[in-house]
Structure 1
Amino acid sequence: MAKKVATTKKRKEKSKLVPGLVVLFLFLFVSFSYYAYQIVYTANVDTKDQETYVYIPTGATYEQALDSVEATGTIIDKLSLRFMAKLMNYDELVKPGRYKLENGWGNRQLIGVLRLGEQSPVKLTFNNVRLRTQLAEKLATEVEPGQEELDALLNDNEYLKTLGFDTTTVVSMFVPNTYEVYWTITGKELMERMKTEYDKFWTAERKAKADKLGLTPKQVSTLASIVQAETIKNDEKPRVAGVYLNRLQKNMLLQADPTVVFAVRDFTIRRVLNVHLRHDSPYNTYKYKGLPPGPINVPNISSIDAVLNPEQHDYIYFCAKEDFSGYHSFATNVAEHQANARRYQQALNQRKIMK
């Protein structure tokens, strides 16, 4: 009888325990489901409405990749991010690249983009570049390959020959425009892409115009670089180009001050003096006839097209206007040019610009 009573008592206790366990199970299930939902779908990226990118270098480990993401300062809950990354096997699918982080992304969206390698392309531009080293420096700020790697390619004559250039002409291969590339592009891939764009730029029409002038595309770029250094006024570039083409036709010295500045490698010079003109360099067009060996900067499209479409005139001289407007005074003879030059020199003296 006592045994029967004990059994009954246990049954009653069990019957009381089951509902409690069910409630606990439901509570844990709901809590886990809610947390799982938060981990997967709740916004975990806060860019504060600023354009934000994460850069994951080639060869980065799983930990390094996540550290790079967290270093952006946009992750709200780092623990949930790492939990989701493990859940989605990101440790086995790390891909290098430049990724734009969108405000309000959940962990699933973020990890999904990273593990698929859905990079945001870089808009590559390069303006106001004079030297190969400057070009390498500029490009290295936009893509993964470093300045040292790019500089080595730009100075490798044997490699440049395969692209149809050498160290004196290679900057002309880089036609200033906006190009979309992936941040992870290799140095050689970038060079080949620029060669492809160069070939596209030099259409049959442009080549025909160059041929009519008696110039190769590289020579056009070299002359365009001089025109660009002489004037920032696009509407004046065809006239300046016409002056230099007239000089070439007459077998005269180009006597372009910017080529002397390039030869001396002192880009702070504002007033070219006799000491600069005596500098011995193939880029000194006061000493050597014809075009210099290569461009003295990376000429933009407006400068190249100005050479291909020059203004037809008889001017063979020009100098800066004394009003410092950026425009120039043009002349057909020495006397007229000297009068223009005197006015400009007086203006320089008044402003005490000695070098």
Structure 2
Amino acid sequence: MYFKKIAIAIVLLGLIGAGIFSYYIYSVMLVPNTSFNSKEAYIFVGSDATFAEVRADLEPLLKDIETFETLAKQKKYVNNIKAGRFLITKGMTNNDIINSIRSRNLPIKIAFNNQHTLADLASRISSQIEADSTALITAFTDKEFLESHDFTEANALGMYLPNSYEFFWNTSATTFRKRMLKEYNRFWNASRLEKAKSIGLTPHDVIALAAIVHEESKQASEQPRIAGVYINRLNNAWPLQADPTVKYAAYQLPKYKNTIIKRVLNVHKLISSPYNTYKNKGLPPGLIAMPDLTAIEAVLNYEQHSYFYFAADAQNPGFHRFAKTLRGHNQNARMYHSYLDRRGVRK
């Protein structure tokens, strides 16, 4: 009888212990532990993040950070941090959260366009991925990389084709650069290379000219016609006389820093610079800005015509009037200059 009571007591203690353990497991692993009201939240875990940093990021999102930490230790997450962007949905348990931040790094969409310099691009990209602008500009201007892939610092911006791309947030600067080179080489397929060759231009030349076309007009519908004007000038050994290149040359000078040139004057055309296409024939040595893909395609598929001139159209802002002769161009230019005068634009 005595031993029977002891056996019953042991069984009861076991059941109680099992119950306590089950409750502990339930409360630590299986109880919803999110505290935010929205449907979802994201955390970003850096490549060198510690568990303390992850814990600090999660604490505002969780009801009970202590139970999360207990399970994280049991599942050995504290010594096996994974970098990336991770989703936490409302109602997740600690177990769900750990599974998410341990193995479900989610990609992001990044986009860029209209960047005027490599520094501008580095700043833009650093706002979207983990790599900072210093690391990015170092990668962008690495001489060994540029030389090995037939780039110079002057035309390196052309390697970064504006578009939307999918990356992991914890992408490094060199990984980003490698992916952009792959996209650049994919863009320059056999068909586009053949078109460039038929025009007498290299891919670098095409993008340099596209940058000028894009700065002249953001209207995709007239970019092929503008490209045709410049191709006509190149084929006839004329200077391009492109106002955007003169502005670019001016902006490199201290006198014009932090200014906006709205009207190109004769004084600007006298600036000594390889980018001044009023003083130098041919294409400038590099890009004056990042062209849109539409402008690159406009150069490759330029409109064949007999126009050698164009001027902004005062009656149709954003578009241009085209002329075959200097006399016709001067008439168009006078109309636009009168428009600027009426608006008080002097420089």
TM-score (norm 2): 0.90
Which amino acid is the alignment partner of residue 185 of structure 1? T
Deviation at 1:149, TM superposition (A): 1.3
> Aligned in 2, Cα 1:84/1:192: closer, same or farther, shift over 3 Å?
same
In the alignment, which residue of structure 2 is the partner of 1:351?
343
Aligned match for 1:337, one of 329, 333, 338: 329
Residue identity in the other structure for 2:50: T
Among residues 270, 276, 283, which one is paired with 2:275 in the alignment?
283
Change in CA separation of 1:323 and 1:186 when aligned onto 2, cut-off 3 Å: same
Aligned 8 A contact 1:47 1:101 in 2: no
How many angstroms does 1:27 deviate by?
6.5
Matching residue within 73, 76, 79 for 1:89 = 76
Preserved contact between residue 261 and residue 267 of structure 1 (Cα < 8 Å): no
- Retained in 2: the 8 A contact 1:231–1:237? yes
Equivalent of 2:213 in 183, 205, 227: 227
Partners of 1:164 and 1:39 lie apart in 2 by: 57
Q: Is the 8 A contact 1:255 1:286 kept in 2?
A: yes
* 1:125 alignment counterpart: 111
Q: Per-residue displacement from partner, 1:46-81 (whole Å, max 9, x unpaired)?
A: 5533663212112222212222333xx322321221
Conserved? CA contact 1:153–1:160, under 8 Å: no
Give the secondary structure class of the aligned counterpart of 2:43.
strand
Deviation at 1:136, TM superposition (A): 1.0
Q: Which of 74, 99, 120 is matched with 1:134 structurally?
A: 120
CA distance in 2, matches of 1:213, 1:46: 62
> RMSD of aligned C-alpha atoms?
2.6
1:251·1:289 contact (CA, 8 Å) conserved in 2? yes
User: Which consecutive segments of 4 or more residues in structure 1 shift more than 6 A?
Assistant: 14-25
Partner Cα distance (1:45, 1:225) in 2: 50
Are 2:101 and 1:101 equivalent residues in the alignment?
no
Give the secondary-structure state (helix, strand or coil) at the position aligned to 1:178: strand
1:122 counterpart SS class: strand
SS at match of 1:318: strand
SS of the equivalent of 1:227 reads helix
Distance 1:181 1:255, change over 3 A: same
Stretch deviating more after TM superposition (207-216 or 315-324): 315-324
Amino acid at match of 2:57: S
2 CA distance for matches of 1:55 and 1:77? 20
- Per-residue CA deviation, residues 199-235 of structure 1 (Å, 9 max, x unaligned), is 1110100000000000001110011111111111111
What CA deviation, in whole Å up to 9, does each residue of 1:130-164 have, x standing for no partner?
Answer: 11110111111122221111112222323311222
Name the residue aligned to 1:177: 163
Which of 315, 320, 337 is 2:312 aligned to? 320
Which residue in the other structure is 1:45 paired with?
Answer: 34
Provide the C-alpha distance between the structure 2 equivalents of 1:239 and 1:45, rounded to a whole number of angstroms: 58
Q: Which whole-Å deviations, capped at 9, do the CAs of 1:153-197 have from their partners, x for residues lacking one?
A: 222323311222110111111111222122222222221111111
Query: Equivalents in 1 of 2:5, 2:40: separation in Å?
Result: 58
On the 8 A contact 1:137/1:147 being kept in 2, the answer is yes
Contact map agreement 1:95 1:114 (CA 8 A) in 2: yes
Alignment match, 1:214 = 200
The residue aligned with 1:9 is none
The number of equivalent residue pairs is 341
Counterpart contact for 2:126–2:132, Cα < 8 Å: yes
Quote the offset at 1:25 in angstroms: 7.4
Match of 1:163 among 149, 160, 163: 149
Which consecutive unaligned segments of at least 5 residues does structure 2 have?
Answer: 252-257
Partners in 2 of 1:246 and 1:225 — Cα distance? 17
Task: Tell whether the 8 Å contact from 2:230 to 2:240 is kept in structure 1 after alignment.
Answer: yes
| Superposed CA offset, 1:276-304 (max 9, x none) | 22221111111111111111112121111
Preserved contact between residue 232 and residue 326 of structure 1 (Cα < 8 Å): yes
Q: Which residue of 2 aligns with 1:292?
A: 284
Unaligned runs of 5+ in 1: 1-11
State which of 297, 304, 325 in structure 2 corresponds to 1:305: 297
Distance 1:241 1:46 in 2: 57
Answer yes or no: is the 8 Å Cα contact 2:196–2:202 preserved in 1.
yes
2:47 is the alignment partner of 1:55: no
**SS in structure 1 of the partner of residue 321 of structure 2:** strand
In the other structure, the counterpart of 1:3 is none
CA contact (8 A) 2:246 2:276 kept: yes
Tell me which amino acid in the other structure corresponds to 1:38. Answer: S
SS in structure 1 at match of 2:63? coil
Q: Secondary structure of the residue that 2:162 maps to in structure 1? A: coil
The structure having more radius of gyration, on CA atoms, is 1
Q: Distance in 1 between matches of 2:97 and 2:40?
A: 15
In the other structure, the counterpart of 2:97 is 110
In 1, are the aligned partners of 2:88 and 2:100 still within 8 Å (CA)? no
Distance 1:134 1:283 in 2: 19
2:61 partner SS: coil
Give the equivalent residue in structure 2 for 1:186: 172
Range moving further from structure 2, 125-134 or 27-36: 27-36
User: 1:230 & 1:97 partners in 2: Cα distance?
Assistant: 41
